């Protein structure tokens, strides 16, 4: 059986974040079995274009939104529409 890559584990964790909820980059890294890899999670999310991976639900640990590959305004609008902010 093939072991999944860190990027695959990150995308799987993010797929499971329900509407109206968020996780920090660090929380995603920890759930993907790589604590301390929050920046790597950010890079993976920056390069995500799969609509089944709701990367807008990943935010900074201080509660600020962080970047989004479709624009911060769109990230804010999506999170607001889902009731996360």
Catalytic residues: 55
Q: Name the CA radius of gyration of the chain, rounded.
A: 12
Rounded Cα gap, residues 17 and 60, in angstroms: 15
Rounded Cα gap, residues 8 and 64, in angstroms: 25
Nearest CA to 23 out of 83, 52, 65 is that of 65
């Amino acid at each position: 059986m093939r072991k999944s890559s860190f990027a695959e584990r990150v995308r799987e964790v993010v797929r499971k974040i329900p509407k109206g909820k968020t996780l920090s980059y660090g929380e995603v890294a920890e759930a993907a079995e790589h604590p301390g890899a929050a920046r790597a999670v950010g890079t993976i999310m920056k390069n995500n274009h799969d609509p089944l991976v709701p990367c807008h639900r990943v935010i900074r640990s201080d509660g600020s939104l962080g970047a989004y590959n479709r624009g911060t305004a769109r990230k804010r609008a999506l999170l607001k529409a889902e009731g996360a902010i």
